[in-house]
Structure 1
Amino acid sequence: MEIAVWRSIYRFLLRRPRVPAGAVGFTYHQPVLPLLIGFLVASAIELVAVDLLVQQWPLVRIPLLVVGIWGLLWMLGLLLGYLTRPHAVGPAGIRVRDGAEIDIAVPWEAVESVAQVSDAGKPAKVADTADGRVLSLWMQQATNVEVVLAYPVRVRLPQEVETVDVLCFHADEAEDFMSAVRQHI
């Protein structure tokens, strides 16, 4: 995750979002943007406040500055992970992402159906349901796009590899996402 945070900063500075050739990117960060900006602002204020409080003790000040700057850059990289790795719809299929941690490529032959839904209160990332194993990549505990797979697909998550039958996720502009899907299905 540490490396991914630094890569996100690098990608943002060079204006190189990870969107496959010929594909269209779709953001999904709007529900968490105010929260992440709040954390960034709080981290910046904390950095300055702690520096002012310990400026007379260099042996304490310097390590606290290093840790404070690292924390601020880490939070920035987390936010930029959402901005530089959008969901994508293109000729090869759908790419579903969650920041720098999750990147799932679903080829069109593996897609049975795609629907705009309104699901709230997802209990877990991976759950067994009547429709099979569902991976929910929710934002603020809600998803608005559901991809039913034609066959089970193995996905790599940060802690494990899972086999899922349905992908649920959030797209900021779900209607535009669906329009792009219709062009390829």
Structure 2
Amino acid sequence: MRIARALVRHELRLFASLLLWVTRRTHGTRDGRPFGHARGQGAMMGGLAFVCVVETAGMAVLLRGWPVVHAVVLVLDVYTVLLVVGVHAACVTRPHLLDSTHLRVRDGAHVDLRIPLADIAAVRRELRTTHEPAEGELNLAVGAQTDVTLELATPVAHFTFLGRERRVRLVRLHADDPDELARALTRARTAPSPSPGRPG
């Protein structure tokens, strides 16, 4: 039951992302600076969607003599195409977000992690194309690539797709402009705290 609920929530987010994409809006970016991370996968996702469309057309020809089976397969094929496009739409419309206190790291509709700037010990511009799973590490690769590494002074709680909590002390992520993200993070972490107001 928990798995079914997680799948339903995820698919609803994908379809909501499709709507945002069509209307050229983004999710939750009103109060911070967005950093996109979907550019590197656009061609791959477009190719996958094209293959799904071709497969849909091919199955329509093969099953034209069985109208009931054809209708069922057509619905499943169209749904699959929408899901594939929705995955990409979720990445486009849910960028990383930097504000004065947090970096919100996202990966499509299934990862949304808020990292307090005060907990970031180091920011490295680091290109990696291989990522071995390791305890305490979160790798958010796009096209098998990450290019910014965050070391955390204090582990933060990350919840997996099925809701299991993991304590994360190192985060690797991809950004369309990793140099600018690294610079912006460095500036935000070293910015002086606002001075308190005058006593009343």
TM-score by length of 2: 0.82
Which position in structure 1 is the counterpart of 2:106?
A: 97
The answer for unaligned runs of 5 or more in structure 1 is none
Contact 1:20 1:90 in 2 (8 A): no
Asked if 1:183 corresponds to 2:187, the answer is yes
- For 2:155, the aligned partner's letter is P
For residues 124-175 of structure 1, the C-alpha deviation after alignment (integer angstroms, 9 at most, x for no partner) is 2xx14xxxx2211122333111111121111112132100111111112101
Distance, in Å, in 2 between the alignment partners of 1:109 and 1:46 is 50
- For 1:140, the aligned partner's letter is G
2:80 to 55, 67, 71: 71
Write the mapping of 1:1-185 to structure 2, written as runs, cut at 5 A. 1-124=10-133, 127-128=134-135, 133-159=136-162, 160-185=164-189
TM-score by length of 1: 0.89
Distance, in Å, in 2 between the alignment partners of 1:56 and 1:182 is 63
Larger Rg: 2
- For 1:146, the aligned partner's letter is T
If each structure's strand is expressed as a fraction of its own residues, which one has the higher value? 1
What is the alpha-carbon root mean square deviation over aligned residues?
1.6
The answer for unaligned runs of 5 or more in structure 2 is 1-9, 190-200
Distance, in Å, in 1 between the alignment partners of 2:30 and 2:188 is 15
Distance, in Å, in 1 between the alignment partners of 2:129 and 2:114 is 24
Q: CA deviation at 1:91?
A: 1.7
Q: 3-state DSSP class of the match of 1:31?
A: helix
Distance, in Å, in 2 between the alignment partners of 1:95 and 1:81 is 15
| % same residue | 23
Q: 3-state DSSP class of the match of 2:30?
A: coil
Q: CA deviation at 1:183?
A: 3.3
What is the aligned length?
179
Distance, in Å, in 1 between the alignment partners of 2:145 and 2:77 is 32
- For 1:143, the aligned partner's letter is T
